[in-house]
Structures are given as C-alpha cells and as structure tokens.
A and B are shown apart, each in its own frame.
Chain A
Amino acid sequence: MSALLALFGGAAATYLLRVLLVAVVPADKLPAWVREALPHVGPAVLAALIVGSLVHQGGIPALFTAGPAPFALLAAGFVAWRFRSLAAPMAAALLVMLAATPF
C-alpha cells in the first residue's frame, strides 16, 4: 500500500512541478533574470540528461567505460546535424550499438 502511495504521490508531485509556473505563478511575475535565462534551459537540460544517461552515477571516468554508447550518440549527433531529422539519429545510434554487439 505504501509503495502505491509513493508511486502515485510521485505522479502528483510531477504534476505540481509542471503546473506551478504555467498556471499558478503568472509568467509576467517572473523576475527579469529568470526570463533572461529561460532560452538556455533546453540545451543545458538536454545535455545534462544525455551525459547522465551515459555515466549514470560514475562521474567523468564512467564516460571511458561506457562501451559503444558514447560513439553511438556521437553518430546520432552527426546525423542530426547533417540531415536535420529526428528519426535518423536514433536509427544511427541503434545501428552503431548493434554493430558493436557480439552475437
């Protein structure tokens, strides 16, 4: 029962995080420095998420023991830059991973 409460409590907390600055605090009430920083949220968060998925909790050294995943993501980055597609980078990363997988 407590596990279910924690699971659905997490869902409720997630909703609150989403809605707080959209519906509760009006956008025009945000300080100027916050509005200035907002355009940088996307690249900073995305890069942090990508790196986090590679290193998990291992710190910088984990980048060098992450197997073919960093190369797969580099291939995805190249394909995204070259072809401006969202599906192609995933295909490229999967192909690199499959090529590096021993059968």
Chain B
Amino acid sequence: MSLLQRRLRIDPAAVRDIAPMLLGMAPFGLLIGLTLGTHTVGAAAGLTSAALYYGGTAHLAALQLITAGAAPPAILAGVIAINARLLLYGAALAPRFADQPRWFRWLGAATVVDQTYALARPAGDPVGFRRHWLTMSATLAVGWLAGHVVGLVAGPVLPAWLPLGIAAPAMLVGLLVPHLKRRTGQTAAVIGGTVAALASPLPPGIGTLVGAAVGIVAATLVGRRR
C-alpha cells in the first residue's frame, strides 16, 4: 500500500470495482452535461445539483420538467417517484450500516445509488466496508461529474449519431445478470420487468416503482415455497 493510499485510506479494490461502472455512466453524464449547456438553470447550478442528486435519471427528469414549465410540486413529485427505489436500497443496506459510526450513516447514505448498492461489500468488517464504500463513492463522484463537465464543454461538437443512451441500461444489465443465478432472482427480474412495462404509461417513475414492488413480492413468495 502506497503512502498516499495509507494517508487517504483509499481501498484500491473499490477503485477496481467501480471503474467499469464509470465507462457506462460516462455517456449518461455527457448527455446531462449537454443538456446543462443550454438549460435555463445555468452550468453552476446544474453541476452543483448533479453532485447533490448523485444519480442521473431523476436529475435529468427534473431538468426536463423545468424546461417543460412544470410547477415545482410536480417536479418534486417526479423526482420522488423516480428515486423511491433508493428507499428500498437503503432498507437493504441498513444492516451493513448498522454497526457504523453515526457520521458515516448520515454521510455514506448520501451516495446510495444503483452502482454503489450493487457493489457494496457484505457486512462483517465495518472498517473495511467503510473504506470500500467511501473510496467507491468518491471515485464515482469524480468520474460522474467529469462526464458532465466534458458534456458541457465538448457537447456541441459530439456527433449526433453516437448511441450514448444505451450505455446506462447496458450497465444495469451487467449488474442484473449475477442475480439471475437464483430462482428468486429470476422471478424478481421477470415479474418486475414485465409489470414495469405494463405500468409504464403511468407518470414517470411510477411504472418502475410498481414493477419493482410486484417483482419483490413475487420473489418473496417463491422464496417461501422453497
């Protein structure tokens, strides 16, 4: 371990874990940066809010709703609907945060997102979990915001035919596949995905939430039968 790693308490394994995620998030970050370049909120507020949202879907939806002239309560409702899954992630991660100091529970929770949830270490080594989580979160934040800045600066010269939008769902597919080894994981995914498609005409974010909730219930029932 180098002196810098010891001083900063960096976990090199966390950087290795999260690095492939950055590849998938970069195009999405570019896309949001591109949006910020012409948005009425301005680059400074846009980048600050990007750091605070620490996730692209709800942030982009909020920016689009502002552009469409939506009322603030509608914007807030849209963000909450899209990000309600974070409540589920928080519930799933709670046992791993339970033996952490108070400051970490309040600070570390700010970076709960699809990628950190999927790559979080199991419980059992509180110090190792904390170091891994903080390194992973900081690396993700730097890469994520760098994508926004590149999109903001270089967006106008990027060719329009680049299929940037596929990278984020492809990254989610990479996170999903390991769950499909178990029968309950297959049930959760198939039922969750099907119901999300059926419920997709509902307001933004609600279809995802309904699909996820039904998938979780179905997998729980299948798990009880076994």
Contacts and interface: CB of A to CB of B under 8 A. Distances in A.
Given A92-B170, A93-B170, A48 B212 contact: yes
Contact of A30 (B91, B174, B220): B91
Contacts of A53: 165, 168-169, 172
Contact-size category for B: 35 or more
Q: Is the interface of A mostly helix, strand, loop or mixed?
A: helix
Contacts of A37: 216-217, 219-220
Contacts of A101: 161, 163
Interface string B174-198: 1111111000111111111111111
Interface residues of A, number: 75
Contacts of B140: none
Given A15-B110, A19-B109, A40 B79 contact: no
A44 B75 contact: no
A7 B110 contact: no
A4 to B, nearest CB: 6
A88 to B, nearest CB: 8
A76 B66 contact: no
Nearest to B196: A48
B86 interface: yes
Nearest to B113: A18
Interface in A47-62: 47-60, 62
Contacts of A97: 163, 166
B212 A57 contact: no
B169 A49 contact: yes
A51 B212 CA distance: 11
Interface stretch (B4-12, B124-132, B144-152, B200-208): B200-208
Contact of B83 (A14, A86, A92): A14
A42 to B, nearest CB: 6
B52 interface: yes
Given A4-B41, A7-B66, A81-B177, A17 B97 contact: no
Given A53-B169, A63-B197, A93-B166, A22 B216 contact: no
Given A3-B66, A59-B198, A60-B198, A14 B169 contact: no
B94 A30 contact: yes
B87 A50 contact: no
A89 B189 contact: no
Contacts of A18: 86-87, 89-90, 109-112
* Top 9 closest pairs, chain A to chain B, by CB: A44-B215, A27-B94, A10-B79, A93-B170, A97-B163, A86-B20, A48-B211, A44-B192, A48-B196
Given A52-B208, A93-B169, 8 more contacts: A3-B66, A10-B76, A43-B180, A44-B216, A46-B176, A48-B207, A62-B200, A97-B163
